[in-house]
Amino acid sequence: MKNQVQLITYVDRLGGGGLPQLRQLLAGQGPLAGLFGGVHLLPFFHPIDGADAGFDPIDHTRVDPRLGDWEDVRALSAELDVMADVIVNHISADSPQFLDYAEKGESSPHAGLFLTLDAVFPDGVTEKQLLKVYRPRPGLPLTTATLRNGEKRILWSTFTPQQLDIDVQHPQGRAYLDGILQRLAASGVRMIRLDAAGYAIKKAGESCFMMPETFAFIAEFSARARALGLEVLVEIHAYYQRQIEIARQVDWVYDFALPPLVLHAFAFGTAGPLMRWIGMRPTNALTVLDTHDGIGIIDIGADAADRQGSPGLVPPEELDALVERIHAASGGQSRQATGAAASNLDLYQVNCSFFDAMGRDERRYLLARALQFFLPGVPQVYYVGLLAGLNDMALLERSGVGRDINRHHYAPEEIEAQCQRPVVRQLLALIRLRNSHPAFNGRFEAEALGGTGLRLRWQAPGASALLELDFASLVHTLRFEQDHAPAQELQLG
């Protein structure tokens, strides 16, 4: 993976077109041309508009024809490093495999693909065992299906009834996932993101989330991907120590603790929890402030699965206060999109654009981006965040899906207009500096400046980059130096 800023985007929501139009936007002419070293294409499989915005594929090996085809993916990959999702945990209830299973039952060649309740609990299940299963959403992870012959089966469905869990340990589940890997590798994709991998393994009497068996599956599946030349990013929202553990076994993890810690630092005028995290965080991380999902709260909270009470990175009362401050900063909009207020809810996330979560304060927002770019790892910027986007309340009202508040559709003319805003122009300049300055290939140092500030420095032969930031006063120094060139010092906001 290149040590340059990456973009995260839906193919059809940035420019309103398909893969050829996105390629022109990112590698042709215009304000975003040549800006990124890579692009994570959020699900572009058939269909992109199912029950969960493409995360419930009917056919994971087919590009949605409204976006293009695999040759278009290959053409884009010739210009940029392309990352694609492998949705390891589930498949659509409208998939040909499930329709065949619903028609033929156990005589279907796909019967072993779908995880049933009795496959996990062959000796029966108790209420206590079911309640021990870790849940990202309310309710039980089960859906009752009636087959064509009248037989009823209880199927595992971690997220929604339309997303039926795969038995990844069954030969049919393994063959299904291997077919996806082969299709992606053959089309020029260089990196994959394992979506919902933490839920992939189920075991009777356990939490069915991030167990030792889950780690073993992730390691084994990653090895199969690497054998095809694919780097692996694992997507896990969990207690922060889990990220540290999983980072030892895979190529890349997300730094999901960073977004809430940055918000906490600005909200409380303190660098303490953030500096503590900088001292322990994995460096094989993709740094993010925003993604297509919400702002993770679980990632800095106490370990809910530990009865002994492993503490989080911030005290519980401050975590609760942070959520309320996000709601206040967004004028109450995030509250309308979070928890029981919206469908597709997640108990551990706040749905809001990051710019709105910071109260649309341009200086704070740009300082947050500078901090993201200075931390070791590869930065990813979500397409809404790239344009300092606002909450899309109209889309939220139409869909009723909480995450849609931060999934705006940008027409080409809107992109041009947004790129003229001073906050976006400064962000694009920061991205270009992060991509091109040689200091970021050198040695990193971090130190606290009292209780309210920090200093981040990169040094390489003949080059250095410095960020000093006080979260209470917003006084900052941002300086880039290189031999035989005048120093560049920026004031943000």
Q: What is the Cα–Cα distance from 32 to 80, expressed in whole angstroms? A: 13
Q: Strand, helix or coil at 66? A: coil
Q: Which residues are paired to 172 by β-bridges? A: none
Query: Residue 46: enclosing H or E segment and its boundaries?
Result: strand 45-46
- Give yes or no for a contact between 84 and 192, defined as CB atoms under 8 angstroms apart: yes
- Give yes or no for a contact between 35 and 383, defined as CB atoms under 8 angstroms apart: no
- Rounded to 5°, the CA angle 318-324-325 comes to 85
Question: Considering Cα of 328, then 329, then 331, then 335, what sign does the dihedral take?
Answer: negative
Q: What is the Cα–Cα distance from 460 to 380, expressed in whole angstroms? A: 23
- The 10 Å Cβ neighbour count of residue 122 is 10
Share in percent of the chain as helix, strand, coil (round to 5): 40, 20, 40
- Give yes or no for a contact between 402 and 341, defined as CB atoms under 8 angstroms apart: yes
| SS3 assignment for 111-141 | HHHECEHHHHCCCCCCHHHHHHCCCCCCCCC
Residues designated catalytic:
195, 235
